[in-house]
Structure 1
Amino acid sequence: MFDVGFWELALIAVVALLVLGPERLPKAARTAGLWIGRARRVVMNVKTEIDREIKAEELKQIMAKQAQSSGVHEIVEQTREAVEGAARPAPGSKPQAESGSAPAGAAEPKQSDEPKP
């Protein structure tokens, strides 16, 4: 913003010393420092609030865009329909459940020889 170098600060200090005197200069410098600190905090708070508002607005725009586009539910439903369509048996083939026998390799339940209490 401003380019203030060493010599400009030295000139300001000399003028302040001449105008205020050595007795009031420390108190005036302390007061000026407090006011500058408060001003910086106010500027930082305003900047932070502006950044939050910008991010909130971007989030609202993203959510509105997603609401308008096809949702995840539609994609899941389309995938489910495609999988179910592929899993249906071809016409004329016999489903395995109707054959009446257990599939090969299926073990029969094991019976325990121990008496039940």
Structure 2
Amino acid sequence: MFDISFWELFIIGIVALLILGPERLPGAIRSTVKTMRSVKNMASGFKSEIEEQLRIHELHENLKKAETMGLDKVSPEVAQSVEELKQAALSVQEPYKKKKDDEPK
């Protein structure tokens, strides 16, 4: 990620020790590590959200192809995408079906 050698880190540590002092240095390190983790988690969440949106877009494109070609004349990957969409639709409807079944008559 960063091209920082051992000696560069050593110099940064010495300067930080001189500036912050031994009392505040551990807290500053913890704060920096916590901030870096939150930035990394935010970046990974953003990346996964983008990947999910791209997958959804691809599924929609495959569904449009399936509709124009007819569902019986599609390639196996498009048929698989259509099947994934059907499974997703069923999983979304599942909680609502349980609520209707649980209601007393």
TM-score range, shorter chain: 0.5 to 0.7
Question: Normalization by structure 2: what TM-score?
Answer: 0.65
- Indicate the RMSD between aligned Cα atoms, in angstroms: 1.4
Aligned to 2:55: 55
Partner amino acid for 2:40? R
Question: Normalization by structure 1: what TM-score?
Answer: 0.59
Distance in 2, matches of 1:14 and 1:20, equals 10
Distance in 1, matches of 2:71 and 2:31, equals 59
Give the count of matched residue pairs: 73
TM-aligned CA deviation for residue 43 of structure 1: 0.6
Aligned to 1:106: none
Aligned to 2:45: 45
Matches within 5 A, 1:1-117: 1-72=1-72
| Runs of 4+ in structure 1 over 4 Å off | none
Q: Percent identity?
A: 37
Residue 72 of structure 1 aligns to a residue whose secondary structure is coil
Higher percent of residues as helix = 2
Q: Which has the larger radius of gyration?
A: 1
Distance in 2, matches of 1:46 and 1:66, equals 30
